[in-house]
Structure 1
Amino acid sequence: MSDESFAVNEDRSSRFVRLFLTYRLYLLAAASLLVFALVALGLYRLTAEVRYEDVLAALSATAWSAIAMAMLFTGLSFLALIFYDANALDHIGRRLPFPAVAVTAFMAYAVGNTVGFGPLSGGAIRFRAYSRLGLAPGEIARVIAFVTLSFGFGLLAVSALATLAVAPRVAGILGIESFWLRILSVFVLAALAAVFYAGRKGHAINLKGFSLRLPDSRTTSRQFLVSAFDIAAAASVLYVLLPDTHVGWPTFLAVYAVAIGFGVLSHVPAGLGVFEAVIMAGLSNAIGIDQLLGSLVLYRLIYYVLPLLLATGLLLITEMRQLAMRPGVAEAAQLAGRLAPALISTLSLLLGAMLIFSSVVPTPGSDLDFISNYLPLPIVEGAHFLSSLIGLLLVVAARGLGQRLDGAWWVALIGACVAFAFAFLKAIALFEAALLALFILTLLANRRAFDRHSSLLRQALGPSWLAAIAVILVTAFVILLFVYRDTDYAHELWWQFEFSEEAPRGLRALLGLAIAASVIALLSLLRPAHYRTQGPTEAEREQAVAVTMGQDMADANLVRMGDKRLLFSPSGKSYIMYGIHGRSWIALADPVGREEEFAELVWQFVGAARAGGGRAAFYQISPVLLSACADVGLRAFKLGELALVDLARFEMKGSGFANLRQSYNRGLRDGLTLSIVLPDGVHAILSDLRTVSGDWLAHHNTKEKTFSLGAFEDAYVLSQPVAVVRLAGRIVAFATLMVTDTKAEATVDLMRFSPEAPKGTMDFLFASILEYLRGEGYRQFNLGMAPLSGMARREAAPVWDRLGGTLFEHGERFYNFKGLRAFKAKFHPRWEPRYLAVSNGTSAALALMDVTFLIGGGVKGVISK
């Protein structure tokens, strides 16, 4: 194969990989939906001999004592789940108030268990909550990793031990020889024991340059007990709901653990259908399918829905100011209020699904007989049909509620009120009406949380939300087929309107839902057509410069380049500057202007990026912006550290500044002099500066960069002061200064020097600039960022940090990471972390690629330097 053919194949491969990464969410959503559809088909066939009436009979036959026991075990399971987070925080060496940890963990599991997909997952809630409590992004990632891995290892250990104890019984249920089950269980337990032994003293495992510190024996033992207790309690919730059976609890525990594992691996929201399929396949020989179905329905209501309703009730209680002011409760109440949008969004999704499902199941005959005496048939039919559409509306509004949109709040409130009335018109649905009433009260009590003025109609649904809607509709379709299994289909069913005819009513409701959902999906898929916003007008750039000069961030002067797009706050007193490459909308640094407007600007930018079919990213942001990014569901990945010099304390005395002082004095002996040329005087030396810049570019065989760096453009250079170094009257080096009127911070952008400049000229230039700025009353100097600096490779650091730390240590052939940090370290700065905030790790990699193209001026610019 020729080199040219190899290059073509490599280019095609990279394009295929990039295409897959770009649309991976849609592909994963489609795969999850396909898995769910196949499972749903299997469940329908598995229940071929079961009738809807049998399931209702099984539900009514469940004793209240069993339901009470199931509630007790649910409480015990969630108590154990809270200690997952407590142990994780103890493992990373952080202590937080237990009430705040309990609220966070409880809400994270109540939401995560119910919906189980990205936008509302427990991980997103932890990022929002723990970032508010002062944890760094890396620490939050370690908490999530600890919780996830401990649950996975605990599930493996419990299922292996249970299977080993009752292998013959489990073998008979699953149709596998007990010998192989025992072998597999022993293998799993041996592997877990090896991991336990390796980390018995908190030892680190070193693998290809990475170091992973395992929990010590005490932490591991404690977490295993917590995990075992949690899984045992959760399994007991379903076990006590089952009818009398000869299946022992250890046997059931093994089957339950396998079902939970498959549900998690399927990535179907809440493992819906997958969990039920495994349980039914494992226990159908011992328990009647109709009884199993009834128990599974109750299990879902008690273990999944009940905690969500309890969390909603707690949210209402925390709004009572007198209670919230009590010591120890105030912080937890405040945190619960901040998590309210995610919780209310989940409840909206749940109630929407409930309304949809209720539209395809028959109304009890006694209720219909009662309604027929007071209401005409058209009102009942209309209420039934419209109630299903309101359910879809609540599902769609759930996304807007999660984003704190005031429009979504109004849609959800009005929809819930109408559905509340319809609950009595279509049937005497007291339970449905009670849940809707709770939802309405929660919306009213948390009105202040939904303060973002944005249109719900402009919010396109992403792949996860479309997949969730599809799962709900497929479930409704399967329920319809199951309920009316004995009803022969005929075209006449569609236009039969009678009180006693339930199947036609369900068919019409499902058809209306399918049409409405298809329209919503098409609009969501077509609306995010990739588009680019326009660059700033001259008036907008002048407005941004005026805002810049009145605040403290010197780097904001990069807006003078005019190469970045601008997004202003409604007041016009703050803005975000950003660039677009591919599907990445990349905001540069923190917003500029009023800090109280930053959170809303973050929401505005993320919404604009999504509406334009892009992915939002925030590049080189400070810790100040992390909580606002967490609120919109973005994760933070460390990029490096910013060097900040306190000018009030800067003085080239003492042994710490010996090397810098020597370079400065050598420059003076060599005849170097520094002068600061103000903007009105730069024009006179512009041609000399251009010559130095051109020589510097040619010497380094590079081209001008943009986006996060300035380029030598006349208008840009003329707009700022310039520090000039002369040798024998000739300019040999210069640096453009970026300052603001507040004098809180100063920094440099363009730094160019002639090849003839003496050695140590840059040290002399920086030392002289710092001395000048200190004399002018500036408070700090921004030396810029050291990429990958401060990235942890020790203990249980996140993979991103360990990879960055390794590249920092061994990546000198690609970039002078260590040399750049060493140069900045001469000035003894304060190091402050800087982050990239995106939705996930894959998006982080893609965003960094697009940042590289933006800085380099596109693909050609990067390739040609």
Structure 2
Amino acid sequence: MRHRLQQLAPLIATLVFIGAAALLWHQLRGYNWADIRGSLQSIPTWKIALCIGLTTANYIVLIGYDWLALSSIHHPLPFRQVAFASFTGFVATYNFGATLGGLPVRYRVYSSLGLSSIEVMQVAFMLGLTFGIGEIATAGLSFVIDPIVIPEQLNLPFHAVKGLGWTLIAITAGYLLLTAFIHKPLRIRGHDVRLPKFGVTLAQIGVSVADLVLAAGCLYSLMPADFSMNFPQLLGAYLLAIIAVMLTHVPGGVGVFELVILTLTGSTNKEDVVAALLIFRVIYYLLPLLVATLLIAVMSLVRQLSKVQPIVRGSGRIVTSIAPTILAMATFLAGIVLLISGAIPSVSSNMKLLENFVGLHVVEVSHFVGSLAGGALILVARGLQRRLDTAWWGAVCLLTIGIFTSLLKGIDYQEAIVLLLVLLSLVSCRNRFNRPGRLLHERFSFGWFSTITISVLSCLWLGVFIYKNGNIQSDRWWEFAIHGDAPRFLRSCVGVAALLVLWTIGRICSPSKVGKSGLPTESDLQTASEIIAKSTRTSANLALLGDKRFLFSDAQDAFLMYAVENRSWISMGNPVGPPERWPELIWRFRELCDSHNGRPVFYQVGADSLPLYVDHGLTFLKLGEEGRVSAREFSLSGHHFQNMRSTRNRILKAECQFEVIPKERVADYLPRLKEVSDAWLAEKHAAEKGFSLGFFDAEYLQRFPCAVVKQNEKVLAFANLWLGANNEEFSVDLMRHDPSGPSGLMDFLFLELIFWGQQQGYEWFSMGMAPLSGIEDRPYAPMWNKAVGVLYRNGDHYYNFQGLRSYKDKFRPVWEPRYLATPGGIALPQVLSDLVRLIGREKKPGESPQTTKMLDE
């Protein structure tokens, strides 16, 4: 049900925008574009400068939100990093909304700076709390000091807000008293909620009030001299407009914000208010986005200069995490700029110059092509967010076209400069867009579809409003004239609409590239075997268990193996195959999860591959460490191995022999291997595992050589051998022994395996994972690290994890960390539960309907 509501939210936002646009049309029916354009030109330069100054001050104050949030979770960061996260986060929020813009941006920045997903969500909660209490306090003061009057045409049950203001002040005072006198956590719906300290609460209110007052001041500074409201009244109207935007979830509040302000101000000179709102949106929303884009570009360029790298230490992680998202937003808005430019009439004097120097045909073609480029840019932006190489080339070409067409259709040098700055930013961040793929294969979320729809409809609304006085007629579509702005707009509308329709058809007809979700066929297993034969890491052989699904690369030279448990789509380790194929496979797996409303999870990934998963906003939890013994340098000499030498000699004197059975002969040994396996399971009171561990399966075991320990031809212990390519590594998977055999049998098997690998020329012998070992338990370590740290030290009764680490330490291995890459947050407990069920091969009373549905699709 919740997922359905999430899917409906963008549709509801689109419908709300359409309703707001209709009401705006009604409000402005008596005005025309010439009136509004005149008001725009009459705004003094000093007012624009004042608005820019107040906007700058406002964004500086906004840093306080993040600073307080980080202080509350005891995870301080350098001021420059907090300032960058705050600035880019609020820029994204104001232009594209919190869900589509602000939260993902903050998540990427803070994750790259070392915050866990839980900590990022705590920061987001504190941001919302700070804004909420500040909004209540500011509204209360505004409504009491000089309350606004609610227009009668709204048909609300009240027309005065002074009583509401006193109520809000009482709520603020009550909250302050709670934080001053209640220091224990409050129990709310089964959860402990700890209130901020009194001093922190005062700081929250101060920051939020300053933010809202400055933001409203930016708008007030642009209002005409005869504006009908004083500042406290406009502040109240501004607060109500912000609340309306938050409730409707329209990206950037387009249409909704303007409608509420126009309705509440009740000004008779609405063209002046509309002009102020337009300039306010450019200065407060679009200009900071352009600054953020240029900042990303400069940081990327500076980082590439080796001589100044120490100055920007740490900036590389931030730029890598955020550049595609910010540049995608800038490209999207560059497309909107071109579409709006195609709707607005050109300056008459400029058109006369163009008529004399380039001719009518060039003007007409440039206008049409420029609008098409704008429509294409808003589509390409999604590919930029996904780091597509083709999207980067497409955006560069389209921006270049847009620059030339802007100059050739109306000498619009202002928009040409904006497009040029976005283009230069893209070029400076070229290395951030290295993912192969086709644009038509990119999945558009409901939020993106809604944003595109609202943006295009906004431009259409503007054009129809401008030419509403008889200029839009069917017989004028094919009229070509140097001052024929309306016919050019109509032709551009048809062109952009055709582009969007063709794009949609192309996506529908394009074959899916996300891969299939069924269990592997024999052909799939054969293809996987050929790829595994070239892999140096032996864990790739887990693919041959047959309990996982495959996602192959286009070249069929790499694959990713995964299984599904409830909504968790869990990949076993990194992709298998050439490393250059990994990013694309990870992206496609992410898209496969998105298309089924699943969570992408990567189990047991190495530290060297973590940057690949940072790109997807995943967080990392340390699972344990894998031990690898240097087979080439291994020796039993020295005091440390005295007991192992004794054990080996004792087993040899008991007439036990070690032998490696070729895979062609394993079938002959299967009955005895089965007896040993069953006896071992019975003695351990254990059941077969799966996914990340092998289980006894005749077909699986016959794919590998098998090491056995025999006594008088009776098999006492066995282990199937995984052999890596180029003699880089070998390992074992299913390793079991007869409980009635001599003690020390497994030590003997391990030793003989290492010596066998040494004779065969292998570099490393992998002893597998020691779960939960090497996990930090610092005061501010993530919650999962603390929990598993306790389990590692005290969980011997259940899992004997510490004993496993101690046992493997006898062989002097080199330990390498292994991680779980997961979305984290509130989904983390369910992910861990799904992982346990998957490895434990737990049978459910009935297959999850959701899982069954996902697998069948």
TM-score tier by shorter-chain length is 0.7 to 0.9
Provide the rounded CA distance (Å) in 2 between the counterparts of 1:620 and 1:860.
26
CA, structure 1 residues 299+710, in 2 after alignment: closer, same or farther (shift >3 Å)? Answer: same
C-alpha separation in 1, matches of 2:822 and 2:689: 23
Residue 516 of structure 2 is matched in structure 1 by 532
Deviation at 1:448, TM superposition (A): 2.5
Q: Deviations over 1:130-185 (max 9, x none)?
A: 33333333333333333343333333333333334334667999853335413541
Identify which range, 852-861 or 362-371, moves more after superposition. Answer: 852-861
Instruction: Please name the residue that 1:11 is paired with.
Output: none
Q: Please tell me whether the aligned partners of residues 786 and 821 of structure 1 are also in contact (alpha carbons under 8 angstroms).
A: no
Name which of 123, 136, 144 aligns with 1:156.
136
1:603 aligns with: 587
Matches within 5 A, 1:708-719: 708-719=692-703
Cα distance, 1:321–1:849 mapped onto 2, change above 3 Å: closer
Q: CA RMSD in A?
A: 4.9
Give 1:137-176 correspondences, 5 Å limit.
137-167=117-147, 176=159
Q: Is 1:273 aligned to 2:260, yes or no?
A: no
Structure 1 residues 270 and 744, CA gap change in structure 2 (3 angstroms):
farther
CA shift for structure 1 position 117: 6.3
Deviation at 1:785, TM superposition (A): 4.9
Count matched residues. Answer: 803
> What residue identity is the alignment partner of 1:135?
L
What's the offset of the Cα at 1:676? Answer: 6.9
User: Aligned partners of 1:747 and 1:443: how far apart in 2?
Assistant: 46
User: Residues 213 and 795 of structure 1 are in contact (CA less than 8 Å); yes or no, is this contact kept in structure 2?
Assistant: no
Distance change >3 Å, CA 75–CA 589, structure 1 → 2: same
- Which residue of 327, 337, 342 maps to 1:344? 327
TM-fit CA distance, 1:509:
1.6
Q: Which amino acid aligns with 1:435?
A: V
Paired-residue identity, %: 26
Taking a change above 3 Å as real, the CA distance of residues 465 and 179 of structure 1, as seen in their structure-2 partners, is: closer
Residue 533 of structure 2 aligns to a residue whose secondary structure is helix
Q: Could you tell me which residue of structure 1 aligns to residue 109 of structure 2?
A: 129
For residue 619 of structure 2, give the secondary structure of its aligned residue in structure 1. strand
1:379-398 alignment, distance < 5 Å = 379-398=362-381
Query: 1:12 corresponds to which residue?
Result: none
Task: Please point out which of 253, 269, 273 is paired with 2:235.
Answer: 253
C-alpha contact 2:575 2:582 (8 A) present in aligned 1? yes
Aligned to 1:420: 403
Query: How far did 1:351 drift?
Result: 0.7
Higher alpha-carbon deviation: 380-389 or 165-174: 165-174
Please tell me whether residue 502 in structure 1 is matched to residue 485 in structure 2: yes
Shift in Å, 1:294 = 0.9
Find the aligned partners of 1:427 and 1:791 in 2 and give their Cα distance.
Answer: 63
Label 1:168 to 1:604 Cα distance change in 2 as closer, same or farther (>3 A): closer
- Quote the residue 1:812 is aligned against: none
Match of 2:460 in 1: 477
Amino acid of the residue matched to residue 824 of structure 1? F
- Check 1:314–1:645 CA distance in 2 against 1; reply closer, same or farther (3 A cut): closer
Whole-angstrom CA distance in 1 between matches of 2:827 and 2:507: 22
Which of 251-260 and 331-340 deviates more? Answer: 331-340
Contact 1:212 1:794 in 2 (8 A): no
The Cα shift of 1:647 comes to 7.9
Deviations for 1:722-773, whole angstroms, at most 9, x for unmatched residues? 688999998798776767589999987557799xx69xx9998888877888
Of 380, 392, 417, which residue of structure 2 is paired with 1:434?
417
What corresponds to 1:468 in structure 2?
Answer: 451
One-letter code aligned to 2:674: R
Which of 306-315 and 763-772 deviates more? Answer: 763-772
Report SS of the residue matched to 2:477: helix
1:89 maps onto 2:78 in alignment: no
Quote how far apart the aligned CAs of 1:421 are: 1.4
Change (3 A) 1:825 1:855: closer
Encode CA deviations 1:286-339: one digit per residue, 9 max, x unaligned: 463222211111111101111122223333433156978447632265356423
Cα deviations by residue, 1:545-589 (Å, 9 ceiling, x for unpaired): 3344x23xx543312324445456799886532347899764222
Q: 1:43 & 1:820 partners in 2: Cα distance?
A: 69
- Map 1:649-728 to 2 at 5 A: 678-680=660-662, 683-691=667-675, 707-719=691-703
Between 340-349 and 731-740, report the one with greater CA deviation.
731-740
Q: Please tell me whether residue 546 in structure 1 is matched to residue 525 in structure 2.
A: no
Tell me if 1:311 matches 2:292. yes
Matching residue's letter, 1:446: C
The alpha-carbon deviation at position 61 of structure 1 amounts to 1.8
C-alpha distance in structure 2 between counterparts of 1:766 and 1:185, whole Å: 72
After TM superposition, the score normalised by the length of structure 2 is 0.79
Alignment-derived partner of residue 658 in structure 1: none
Contact 1:856 1:862 in 2 (8 A): no
Give the Cα separation in 2 of the matches to 1:425 and 1:389: 15
Residues 581 and 854 in structure 1, CA contact (< 8 A), matched pair in contact too: no
Find the aligned partners of 1:354 and 1:753 in 2 and give their Cα distance. 72
The one-letter amino acid of 2:289's match is: L
After superposition, residues 67-82 of structure 1 pair within 5 angstroms as 67-82=48-63
Task: Work out whether residues 143 and 161 of structure 2, in 8 Å CA contact, stay in contact via their aligned partners in 1.
Answer: no
Structure 1 residue aligned with 2:636 = none
Tell me the secondary structure at the aligned position of residue 561 of structure 2.
strand
Change (3 A) 1:560 1:495: same
Structure 1 pair 501/558, CA: closer, same or farther in 2 (3 Å)? same
How far apart, CA to CA, are the structure 2 residues paired with 1:124 and 1:762?
A: 58
Question: Is the CA contact (8 Å cut-off) linking 1:154 and 1:224 kept in structure 2?
Answer: yes
| 8 A contact 1:647–1:781 mirrored in 2 | yes
Deviation, 1:353, is 0.9
In 2, are the aligned partners of 1:643 and 1:784 still within 8 Å (CA)? yes
The correspondence of residues 176-255 of structure 1 with structure 2, limited to 5 A, is: 176-178=159-161, 180-190=163-173, 192-193=175-176, 196-197=179-180, 203-207=184-188, 210-244=191-225, 245=227, 247-255=229-237
Q: Are the aligned partners of 2:116 and 2:620 in contact in 1 as well (CA < 8 Å)?
A: no
Per-residue deviation, 1:30: 1.4
Aligned position for 2:802: 825
For structure 1, the 5+ residue unaligned runs are 1-16, 649-660, 810-816
Match of 1:635 in 2: 618
Larger mean CA deviation between 376-385 and 171-180 belongs to 171-180
| Equivalent residue number for residue 639 of structure 2 | none
The residue number in structure 1 matching 2:812 is: none
Change (3 A) 1:390 1:117: farther
Please name the residue that 1:6 is paired with: none
Q: Which residue of 2 aligns with 1:561?
A: 545
Q: Which amino acid aligns with 1:269?
A: P
The 8 Å contact of residues 363 and 408 in structure 2, kept in 1 or not, is answered as yes
Aligned to 1:331: 313
Q: CA deviation at 1:795?
A: 9.6
- 1:777-792 to structure 2, matched below 5 A, reads 781-783=767-769, 785=771
Question: 1:472: Cα distance to partner?
Answer: 0.9
Letter in 2 for 1:160: G
1:543 CA displacement: 3.3
3-state SS in 1 of match to 2:126: helix
Q: Could you tell me which amino acid in structure 1 is paired with residue 822 of structure 2?
A: A
Name the amino acid aligned to 2:388.
L
**CA deviation after TM superposition for structure 1 residue 234, in Å:** 1.9
Q: What is aligned with 1:288?
A: 269
Alpha-carbon distance in 2 for matches of 1:57, 1:347: 29
Matched, 1:98 2:82: no
Against the structure 1 CA distance between its residues 710 and 332, is the aligned structure 2 distance closer, same or farther, given a 3 Å change threshold?
closer
* 3-state SS in 2 of match to 1:308: helix
The answer to whether the Cα contact below 8 Å between 1:677 and 1:724 also exists between their aligned partners in 2 is yes
Query: What SS does the corresponding residue of 1:468 show, helix, strand or coil?
Result: helix
Distance 1:439 1:594, change over 3 A: same
Instruction: Name the residue aligned to 1:4.
Output: none
- After superposing the two structures, state which structure 1 stretch, 62-71 or 261-270, moved more: 261-270
1:28 and 2:6 correspond: no
